[in-house]
Chains A and B, each alone.
Chain A
């Protein structure tokens, strides 16, 4: 129980995927103009990261490793993610048109969101030390890590969209308009998140 808590705090706040690991920055800058689209994108990313981590973890552990095909990891993972995104799109369209309306336009963008591939690769290659000895993650821990990481992504995204909505109403010098001022704002936000470092 304690370890799950440590994974969560570490993944959401201390090693925030966006503000500390710089994964998934492109869609973050792209869709954080409005709070509603930011929420939609966060939801879609959350869903895909968790599902992709589950599938790629299983494929890696039960297919690639036993057959000594680790060198196909990158190719296999990106193909799995691309087809997963397609499948989610089709299923969502049939099962829940309203959810599809909300998330649909973000789904194609997610294939090239490096947060998804980043988490999938990280959980099968990196040793973690959540309060204990260094070890590779088990399936359960990997899933908790994936969910917590994507929650961290959503948190940063939604906070930033809120800031950016206010920013839009302010006068800024011409050269700062658009992305530059947004990046500087993210920088200040990242500084605030640095305050969490050292907690776990």
Chain B
């Protein structure tokens, strides 16, 4: 597999949101606006790349029986590092994303990539895989965020093009499920062609 396809597969062929359908909780909860989706995607990207690198390094020496707990500990460490860094340098983003930052620990994408890719491949490839899947996740979240923000608040990335309110239901819980459902339909249609 070429280096480029390691990165690009995350955008479409193995898109974590629309094809693998992983990490649904942050996808639904943090996409109330484009910027929130983008921030969540980048936070996940950070953890994904670092944990992939470390796990690909330690995988050969970790006994098989305890590999899952060890991976979880590694991931949890990076998540906590991320929490501190965000609290210190981007406190606003930390406040908006709230609970979903520590919950990256149980995001199936991260553990999934560790188990399915990083534990069997070299450092360099694992890092690229992390970047690819992480960017795919970021793109999907941002796209969902853009749609929900346009419909729900009449703005894009905070820039308002519509006076007054949008259709409020789209920034609330039902809108998250509906937008994700319909975007998946669109993705399926496009993938068929």
A residues adjacent to B (C-beta < 8 A): 19-26, 29, 71-75, 78-79, 82, 111-114, 116-118, 121-122, 174-176, 179-184, 186-188, 190-191, 193-194
Main secondary structure of the interface of B (DSSP, over half): helix
Residue contact B106 to A74, C-beta cutoff 8 Å: no
21 pairs, CB–CB < 8 Å, chain A vs chain B = A21-B29, A22-B25, A23-B25, A25-B28, A26-B22, A29-B21, A71-B84, A74-B83, A74-B105, A75-B77, A75-B80, A78-B106, A82-B69, A82-B72, A111-B106, A118-B99, A121-B102, A180-B188, A183-B184, A190-B177, A194-B169
Interface of chain B residues 101 through 115 with chain A (CB within 8 A): 102-103, 105-108, 111
**Which of B25, B73, B175, B189 is in CB contact (< 8 Å) with A25?**
B25
Q: Does B89 contact A (CB under 8 A)?
A: no
Please provide the 6 A-B residue pairs with the shortest distance between their CB atoms, ordered closest to farther: A183-B181, A187-B177, A187-B178, A22-B29, A184-B181, A191-B174
Residue contact A26 to B76, C-beta cutoff 8 Å: no
Main secondary structure of the interface of A (DSSP, over half): helix
Residues of the B chain whose Cβ atoms lie less than 8 Å from the Cβ of A116: 106
Residues of the A chain whose Cβ atoms lie less than 8 Å from the Cβ of B80: 71-75
Contact with A along B61-105 (1 / 0, CB 8 A): 000000011001100110110011000000000000001001101
B residues adjacent to A (C-beta < 8 A): 21-26, 28-29, 68-69, 72-73, 76-77, 79-80, 83-84, 99, 102-103, 105-108, 111, 169, 172-178, 180-182, 184-186, 188-189, 192
Most buried by B among A23, A114, A180: A114
Most buried by B among A75, A82, A174: A75
Residue contact B173 to A22, C-beta cutoff 8 Å: yes
Residue contact B25 to A74, C-beta cutoff 8 Å: no
Chain A, Cβ-Cβ closest to B110: A112
Residue contact B181 to A187, C-beta cutoff 8 Å: yes
A180/B173 contact (C-beta < 8 A), A26-B22, A75-B73, A121-B99 known: no
Q: In the docked arrangement, what's the CA distance between A9 and B185, Å?
A: 35
Residue contact A194 to B172, C-beta cutoff 8 Å: yes
